[in-house]
Structures are given as structure tokens and as C-alpha cells.
A and B are shown apart, each in its own frame.
Chain A
Amino acid sequence: MIKRMLIMLTLLLTAAIFARLVLNYGEHQELGKLGAHYASQGPAELGAPNLVTAVVVTYRGLDTLGEVTVLFISAAGVGVMLRRRKQVPDDNEARKPSSEIVVTAAQLLLPMIFLFGIYVFVNGHLSPGGGFQGGAIIAAGSLLLLLALPQAEMRHRLISITESLSGFSYVVVGLLGVILAGGFLDNRIMSLGTYGSLFSAGAIPIIYTLIGLKVGSELSAVLDRFRQSD
């Protein structure tokens, strides 16, 4: 009885909190000051048709660096928690190979998935998507590889080199922005190019490629660690 009363009380309190939010809710009819500045000046200043990208990579580039760092720390945490077993277990015999259909389809699909991931982050400044999304697609491809071809081995050295190099270059590009242009991660260290073409918007495609490579290799490494510690 008391339990039920408590639940009712909690529900009522929650309702009271959200009622204020709902009743006071009014849709914004126009952009705020900062949003208006981004929307009106962004395309001209940075040359990126995708405004979200302009905000994420350049105006708020430092936050993105923080996100990448968070991802790196979580990947490192997974690596510490799931330490690799020393003796390689002989479960390769117990594990039956995938059927021919699965193997063939996976081999056909893998290049397509990787290509699509690369497309998403290379076109990040033109169309929806970007480094994180492209990297996640690439990691999904690695997951397919791990599930469909369990005998395949990932090249850990290559993955960790890719990850470290891309993270390092990301920071270097950001610092170049401080030296050559207006501030950290300013994309105007290169010419803005033709508005709307693939090689445009200054350094944004480079930054997004680096983020995509970093996220993709990082998530793939996390997935592989999960597999090894099963």
C-alpha cells in the first residue's frame, strides 16, 4: 500500500515538473542571435552548404575534439576492462565456419559498406552525415566481418596506427588554424573553393576524413576486443 502511494506520489511530482515545461512551451518563430549569425554568415564565411557541419567542425570544433576524446577514453576503458586472454583458446575448432551463402554475401557487401562509409564522411560538408556517422558505418562493416568470417584476424597494429595518426593530424590541423587563420580548427587555412563542390569549404573535408578514420578504427578496435574476450 505504502509502495503504491509512493509510486503515485512520484508520478504526480514528475507530472508537475513536466506540466510546467509543456504549458510554458512556445515554438521559436525565429532564430536566436547566435543561430541567425551562423545561418546568415556560415555559408559565406566557411563555404560549407551543410550548416550543421560548419557549426560542428568549425564554430564548435573544440567541442568535437572533446567528443573524439571521450570516444578515445571509452575505447581505452574497454581495452582495460576486457584484457586479452593470454592463451589463445582452441575454439576455432568448435566454431563452425559460416555457410557459403553468408561468406559470399559478406565478401560482396563489405567493400560496398566501407565505400559508403567513406562517401558519407568525404561528403560531410555537402550532405547529411559526417565523420562520426561515416566512422560508425565503417565500424558496422567491421562487425559484419567479425560475425560472418570469424576466422579473419584484424590487423591490430594497422588499426591503432591509423587511429593515432588521424587523431594526431586532427589536432595538428586545428593548430594550423590558429597559426594561419582565425583560430583553433578554423577551416580557412586552405582556399574555400567553389561553393558546393567536393573540394571546397577549406579544411572541413580533411578534418571530417580524419574524424571518420579515427572513429571507424576506434569502434572497430572496440568490437574486436569484445570478440576476443567472449
Chain B
Amino acid sequence: MNELIGSIIILTGSVFLFSAGLGILRMPDAYNRIQAGTKATTLGTMMVLLGLAVLHPAWTWKLLILVFFVLLTNPVSSHALARAAHRIHTPEADSTVIDQLEEEEQEEARAAAEGTNT
């Protein structure tokens, strides 16, 4: 029974990992690819590790540490990547509607300019 449950969880996780790979191929620009590759791989990796924990209960604590590590590093590293891409002005897809980081930076620049004027 445990074997079946664990295998199903791992399989579900690998479906998410597959969709991450698909997203990296199909998404229109760098930012969309980053977010496809991050969200789906975080969940997919977590599900694979949890499925392994069901299969081998003795490994549970080690696997939980791994889950924690993935949960901490994966989003942060893709955040840093996306910021770096934004800083070197990687082009966005044509269908992009809103760029809040750009707006915020312009706001900051304007506030700084006003601060020096007065």
C-alpha cells in the first residue's frame, strides 16, 4: 500500500517537473521561462522527495531537510536571476502588460532627483 501511495506521489511530482521543462521550451520570454521553471520544479521536487519519504520512512528527516533546502534556494535563486535579467534590460514578450519593478525604479529615481533639487 505504502509503495503504491509513494509511487503515485512521485509520479505526480514528475508530471510537474515535465510541465516545467515544457514551460521552459514554450514560454515567450526569459521572465516567463524563469517562473515556469521555478514554481513547477519547486513543487515537483518536493513531491518526489515526499514520495520517497513514503517509500522509505527511515529517510524522512533527511528528505525533509532537502525539501527545506529546495524551498529556500529555488525561489531565491530565480528571484536573483530575474532581477539580473531585468537590470540588463532583457526584452519582455510583446504581450507584457505591466512592469511594476520598472515603475518602482522610475519612482525612486524621480524621488531622488526631487530630493537633490530642493
In this complex, the member of B69, B72, B79, B80 whose beta carbon has the largest number of chain A beta carbons within 10 angstroms is B80
CB distance from B70 to the nearest CB of A (A): 12
Question: A216–B72 Cα gap in the complex (Å)?
Answer: 24
* Residues A105 and B73 in contact in the complex (CB < 8 Å), given A98-B80, A99-B79: yes
Which residue on B lies nearest to A99, using beta carbons? B83
Q: Give Cα A173–Cα B48 distance, bound, in whole angstroms.
A: 45
Chain B residues contacting A98 (CB-CB under 8 Å) are 80
Residues B83 and A105 in contact, CB atoms below 8 Å apart = no
Closest chain A residue, CB of each to CB of B65: A112
* Cα-based distance from A228 to B76 in the complex (angstroms): 25
Which residues of chain A come closer than 8 Å to B72, judged between CB atoms? 105, 108-109
- Complex interface bits, A2-17 against B, C-beta within 8 A gives 1, otherwise 0: 0000000000000000
Distance between A145 CB and nearest chain B CB, rounded to angstroms = 14
Contact of A109 among B73, B79, B83 (CB under 8 A): B73
Q: Mark A103-121, 1 if CB is under 8 A from B, else 0.
A: 0010011001000000000
The 8 A CB mask of A63-80 against B (1 = contact, 0 = none) is: 000000000000000000
Q: Give chain A residues whose Cβ lies under 8 Å from the Cβ of B69.
A: 112
Contact B87 A96 (CB under 8 A): yes
Bound Cα distance A105, B79 (Å): 11
A148–B84 Cα distance when bound, in Å, is 12
Q: Which residues of A contact B73 (CB under 8 A)?
A: 105, 109
B56-88 vs A, Cβ < 8 Å mask (1 yes, 0 no): 000000000000010011001001100100010
Q: For the complex, what is the distance from the CA of A112 to the CA of B69, rounded to whole Å?
A: 10
Chain B residue numbers with a CB within 8 Å of A148 are: 80
> Looking across the interface, which residue of chain B has its beta carbon closest to that of A102?
B80
B87 touches A105 (CB 8 A): no
Q: Which residues of B contact A109 (CB under 8 A)?
A: 72-73
Give the residues from 86 to 142 in chain A that come closer than 8 angstroms, CB to CB, to chain B: 96, 98-99, 101-102, 105, 108-109, 112
Distance, CA A102 to CA B79, complexed state (A):
8
What are 19 A-B residue pairs whose CB atoms fall within 8 Å in the complex?
A96-B87, A98-B80, A99-B79, A99-B80, A99-B83, A101-B76, A101-B79, A102-B76, A102-B79, A102-B80, A102-B83, A105-B72, A105-B73, A105-B76, A108-B72, A109-B72, A109-B73, A112-B69, A148-B80
* B residues neighboring A (CB under 8 Å): 69, 72-73, 76, 79-80, 83, 87
> Which 8 pairs from chain A and chain B are nearest by CB?
A105-B76, A102-B80, A101-B79, A99-B83, A101-B76, A105-B72, A102-B76, A109-B72
Beyond the given A98-B80, A102-B80, please list 8 additional residue pairs across the A-B interface where CB-CB is below 8 A.
A99-B83, A101-B76, A102-B76, A102-B83, A105-B73, A105-B76, A109-B72, A148-B80
